[in-house]
Amino acid sequence: MENILYAIPAFGLAALIYTWWRSAWVTKQPAGNERMSTIARYIADGAMAFLKAEYKVLFYFVVIACLFLGYLGYTGERSHWTIVIAFIIGAFFSALAGFIGMRIATKSNVRTAEAARTSLSRALNVSFAGGSVMGMGVAGLAVLGLGSLFIVLYYSFVYSTGASVNGLEMERALEVLTGFSLGAESIALFARVGGGIYTKAADVGADLVGKVEAGIPEDDPRNPATIADNVGDNVGDVAGMGADLFGSYVATILATMVLGREVVVQDNFGGLSPVILPMLIAGLGIVFSLIGMLLVRVKEGGNVQGALNLGNWISVALTAVASYFVIKWLLPENLNLRNFDFTSTGVFIAVIVGLVVGTLMSLITEYYTAMGKKPVDSIVQQSSTGHATNIIAGLAVGMHSTVMPIIVLAAGIVLSYAAAGLYGVAIAAAGMMATTAMQLAIDAFGPIADNAGGIAEMSELPKEVRERTDILDAVGNTTAATGKGFAIASAALTSLALFAAFVGIAGIPSIDLYKAPVLAGLFIGAMIPFVFSALAIAAVGRAAMSMVQEVRRQFREIPGIMEGTGKPEYEKCVAISTEAAIREMMLPGAIALLVPIIVGFGFRGVFPDTSSAEVLGGLLAGVTVSGVLMAMFQSNAGGAWDNAKKSFEKGVMINGVMEYKGSEPHKASVTGDTVGDPFKDTSGPSMNILIKLMSIVSLVIAPHIALDQEPPIPEAPIQIEEINMNQEELQSAVAQIGVEGKKTAVLRL
C-alpha cells in the first residue's frame, strides 16, 4: 500500500519535470525581430502586472479565509486546525498553475509567430508545446499536491492511531484535505471572473471603436486597446482556464475520495482502495496524456484539427484500457456504498461512461459553435436583416444547444449510478478528468495562436505568416469551445459527487421537497447563477464603456495616430482593464463564498422540522441545475456568435450574394460577437466554478451543521418504549425504524 501511495505524487513530479523541460525548449526558440519582441514584451508586462495586482488582493482574502477556517478547525471535533495549511497550499498551487500558464503563453506567442514564417508545422509545434506546458503543469501540481497531502494526513490521523479507514479519523483527514480543494477553487473563481472581465473589456473596446467606428483590423497597431486585448487572451483564456481546470481536477478527485471512505470493502489495502483509486487514475492519465502530446504532429498543409484529435483520442483510449486493469487489481469484486451493492466491473463501466460523456459533450459543443455547421450558418444568414435578427438567432442557438448536452449528462448520471451507485457517478467524473493535461494543452494552444496572429499583424509580417497563424487560430476557436463543453460536463458531475459527499457528512437522509424551507432553498439556489451572471456581464459593460471612451480619446487627441506616425498609449488601456477586473470581481466572488455559510449557520434551529443542512442541500440542488444550464447556454451562444463573425473573413453566401468583412451583414455579426463575448469568456465559464465552489464550501462546513450538531428544538417529551426481542427480531426492527424530527425509538435487548 505504501508503494501505491508514494507512486501518486511521483506521477505529479514527473509531469512537472516534463513542464520544466518543455518550457526550456520553447524558451530556446527564436523570438523574431526587435519589433516582434517589443510587442511581446508589452503583452507579457501587461499580463504580469494584472497577475501581480490580482494576487495582491487575493492575499488579503486568503488571510480572512484562514481565520474562519482556523476557527472551524479548533471548534469542530470532526475537523482540525491543519485545514488552514491545506487551504493555503491549495490556493498557492492554483495561483502557481495560472502563473505557469501565463509565463509560457507570453513566451510562446511571439515564438509561434516567428515559427510561422517558416512553416505551419513548426508553428503548431511551438504553440502546442506552450499549451502542453500549461496542461502538464496543472495536472502535475494537482496530483503532487493532493497525493503528498493525503499521505501526510493519512499517516498523521489514521495510521498512527490505528483507526479504521471508515472511522472518524479518516473523515477528519479528508475534511482537512477539503481545505486544499477550497483554496484551489477560491483562487480559480477570482482568476476566472477577473480574467474574464479584463479580456472582454479590452476586446469589446477594441472591436467597437477599432473595427466598427475606425474601420481598422482587429490587431492593428494603431488601435490603443489592441495590447490590452492580447493581454486579455492570456489572463482570461490561459490563467483563468488553467485555474478553473485545476480546481475541477482537484474537486473531482476529492469528492470521489470522500465517498470512497464510506464504501464497505474487504481488500488487500486496509480498506483504502476506493479512496486511492481516483488519485491513481489521475496519475495514469498524466502518463497517457504525455503520450498523446508526443503524437500531435502535422505536415505543411495538413489538418491541424485532425492532429489534435488524434492525440486526444489516443490518450483517452489508453486511459480507458489501463483503468480496467488498475480497477481489477485494486478493488475486490464486491463493494457497497449506502446500501447499494456494486462490483469492480461496475466501477470500470462508470469510468467508461465518464470518458464517453466528456467526449460527446465536446462533440456536441463543436457542432453548435463551429463554422460551417447549421447553427452558426443560421446566425450568418439572419445577419443579412440586421443587428437585431443576429442577436435573436444567437440567443436561440444558445438555448437550443442545452438540449442534447443535458440528455447526455442525464444519461451519464443514470448509467454511472446504475453501474456503481454514487461512487460510480463520482468515479465517472474522475475518469472524464483523467486526461485533463491533454484537454488543457489543446485548449491553451488556442490563445497562444491567437496572440501569435496579433503579433504578426502588428509587426507587419508577410501575408503568408498571418495565413498560417489564422489556420491555427481558427482551430483554436473550436478547441476553446469544445474545452468549455468539457469543463461544463466535468463541473456538473463533480458538483453531483460533491453534493453526495455533503449529504453523507451532514447526515441528511434525503432532500425532501415537501418541506417548504427546502423548496425555498431550491428556488434561491436556482436564482444565484442569474444574479452572478448579471454582475459579471454588467461589470464587462462598465469596463468596456471606460475602454471605449479612452480609445476614442486617443484617436481624437493623439496627432497622426491613424496615419501610423503617432504612438498609441497602450499602457492606459491595460490599466483600465486591470483596475476594472480587480474591482468588479469581488462581489460575484463574495456571493459564491458567503451564501452557503449564511444559509448553513444562519438557519440553524430556525425551522421546527427542517435543519439548516437540509435547506442548504436544496440550495445546492438549485444552483447546480441552474448553473449548468446557464453555463451551456452562455458559452455556446457566445461561441456561435464569434464563429458567425469569423465566417465573413473567408466570405459567405447570403441570398445568392457573397458577403465579406466590411459588409452590412458583417457589421451585424460584429454586434452579435460583442454581445457574446462576456457570455462565452466571463459569465458562462464562471458558472462551472460557482457551482463547484458553493458545493465545496458546503462540504467544509458540513460537519459543523450536521443533523447531530443542530441545536435542540423544544418539543413534546420523548417517549421511550422498552421492547423485548431476540437478536434477529432486533435487526429486522432496526432496519425498519425511521427517524421523524427529533423523536427516536430506543430498543433494549
Q: How far apart are CA 304 and CA 476, in angstroms?
A: 10
In this prediction, residue 715 has a pLDDT band, given cuts at 50, 70 and 90, of very low
Phi, psi angles (nearest 5°) of residue 343: -120, 170
At 55-87, the pLDDT tens digits run 888 888 899 989 988 888 887 677 788 899 999
Same domain, 663 and 735: no
**Backbone dihedral angles phi then psi of residue 408, each to the nearest 5 degrees:** -65, -45
**Cβ 172 vs Cβ 76: under 8 Å:** no
* CB within 8 Å of 4: residues ≥ 6 apart: 269, 276, 280, 330
Averaged pLDDT, 647-671: 84
Residues 560 and 436 in one domain: yes
3-state secondary structure of 653: strand
Q: Which of 467 and 626 is assigned the larger pLDDT?
A: 626
DSSP 252-308: HHHHHHHHHHH-B---SSTT-HHHHHHHHHHHHHHHHHHHHHHT----TT--HHHHH
Task: Say whether pLDDT at 616 is over 90.
Answer: yes
Average confidence (pLDDT) over 36-43: 85
Look up cell 479590452; give the residue. Answer: 202
Could you write out the DSSP letters of every residue in 311-345? HHHHHHHHHHHHHHHHHHHHS-SEEEETTEEEEHH
Instruction: With respect to residue 226, please indicate whether it lies within any of the assigned structural domains.
Output: yes
**Secondary structure letter of residue 707 according to DSSP:** G
Mark 641-679 as b/e (b = at least 16 C-beta within 10 Å): bbbbbbbbeeebebeeeebebebebbbbbbbbbbbbbbb
How many angstroms separate the CA atoms of 395 and 344, rounded? 44
- Measure the CA–CA gap between 316 and 32, rounded to whole angstroms: 36
**The pLDDT value given to residue 2:** 66
pLDDT, tens only, 499-545? 888 888 888 877 888 889 999 999 999 999 999 999 988 888 888 88
CB 54 within 8 A of CB 236: no
Same domain, 618 and 498: yes
- C-alpha cell read off for 336: 457497497
In a domain, 545, yes or no: yes
Reported as a pLDDT band with limits 50, 70 and 90, residue 709 is low
Query: What is the pTM assigned to this prediction?
Result: 0.84
Confidence at 10, pLDDT banded by 50, 70, 90: very high
Question: Is 141's pLDDT higher than 50?
Answer: yes
Please report the pLDDT score of residue 483 as a whole number.
76
In a domain, 149, yes or no: yes
First-last CA distance in the chain: 41
Q: Cα–chain-centroid distance for residue 461?
A: 36
| pLDDT tens column, 532-552 | 999 988 888 888 888 888 888
Provide the pLDDT for residue 747. 42
Structure-block grid coordinates of residue 475: 482551430
Query: Is there a domain that residue 83 lies in?
Result: yes
Cβ atoms of 146 and 300 within 8 Å: the answer is no
Write down how long the chain is: 749
Query: CA dist 84 to 331, 525, 665, Å?
Result: 33, 28, 55
Task: Please tell me the predicted confidence (pLDDT) of residue 739.
Answer: 41
Helices (H), ranges, 370-386: 374-382
Q: In terms of domains, do 528 and 407 share one? A: yes
Flag whether pLDDT at 183 surpasses 80.
yes
Please check whether residue 511 lies inside any domain of the structure.
yes
pLDDT at 440: 86
Mean pLDDT in residue range 635-648: 88
Q: How confident is the model at residue 407 (pLDDT cuts 50, 70, 90)?
A: very high
Q: What's the confidence (pLDDT) of residue 724? A: 65
Q: Is the pLDDT of residue 573 over 90?
A: no
Mean pLDDT, all residues of the chain: 84
pLDDT of residue 263 exceeding 50, the answer is yes
Residues 6+ apart with CB under 8 A from 165: 158, 261, 270, 271, 272, 275
By C-alpha distance, which of 261, 617, 613, 614 is closest to 422? Answer: 261
Q: Are residues 669 and 739 in the same domain?
A: no
Q: Are 585 and 193 in contact (CB under 8 A)?
A: yes
Determine the Cα angle at 536 with ends 48 and 525, to 5°.
Answer: 125
The three-state DSSP-derived secondary structure of 583-636 is HHCHHHHHHHHHHHHHHHHHCCCCECCECHHHHHHHHHHHHHHHHHHHHHHHHH
Average pLDDT over residues 490-502: 85
Total number of domains constituting the chain = 2
Tell me the angle at which helices 570-584 and 226-234 cross, rounded to the nearest 10 degrees.
40
Which of these, 500, 529, 498, lies nearest to 626 by C-alpha position?
A: 529
DSSP state of 713: -
Instruction: Note whether 111 and 171 are same-domain residues.
Output: yes
Asked if residues 282 and 139 have their Cβ atoms less than 8 Å apart, the reply is yes
Report pLDDT for 484. Answer: 75
Q: Taking 80 as the threshold, does the pLDDT of residue 731 lie above it?
A: no
* Average pLDDT score over residue span 159-181: 83
Q: Which structural domain, as residue segments, surrounds residue 729?
A: 721-749
pLDDT interval class at 705 (50, 70, 90): confident
- Does residue 738 register a pLDDT over 50? no
The predicted-structure confidence for 218-227, as pLDDT tens digits, reads as follows: 667 777 888 8
Q: Which amino acid is at 560?
A: G
The C-alpha cell at 390 is 443576429
φ and ψ of 639, to 5 deg:
-65, -40
Phi-psi region of 651 (alpha: psi -120 to 50; beta: other; left: phi over 0): left
Please give the Cα distance from 473 to 466 (Å, whole number): 10
Same domain, 612 and 735: no
- Is the pLDDT at 47 greater than 70? The verdict is yes
Contact of 502 with 698, CB cutoff 8 Å: yes
Alpha-carbon distance of 497 to 698, in angstroms, equals 13
pLDDT at 745 exceeding the cut of 50: no
In a domain, 715, yes or no: no
Q: Are 276 and 269 in contact (CB under 8 A)?
A: yes
Q: Which residue has the higher pLDDT, 723 or 289?
A: 289
Claim to verify: residue 737 and residue 651 sit in the same structural domain: no
Mean pLDDT calculated for residue range 293-308: 80
Sign, CA dihedral 39-58-135-642, equals negative
* pLDDT of 118 strictly over 90: no
* Contact indicator for 29, 114 with CB cutoff of 8 Å: yes
Q: Are 346 and 463 members of one domain?
A: yes
7 and 113 in a common domain: yes
The grid coordinates listed for 402 are 442545452
Q: Does residue 393 surpass a pLDDT of 90?
A: yes
Residue 617 lies in a domain: yes
Residue 743 pLDDT exceeds 90: no
Percent of the chain with pLDDT over 90: 28
3-state helix, strand, coil split of the chain in percent (to 5) is: 80, 5, 20
Would you give the distance in Å from CA 543 to the centre of its chain? 24
Residue 647 lies in a domain: yes
Residue-wise pLDDT tens digits, 551-565: 888 888 888 877 777
Residue type, 432: M
Whether residues 558 and 498 share a domain: the answer is: yes
Query: What is residue 633's predicted lDDT score, i.e. its pLDDT?
Result: 94
- Residues 201 and 256 reside in one and the same domain: yes
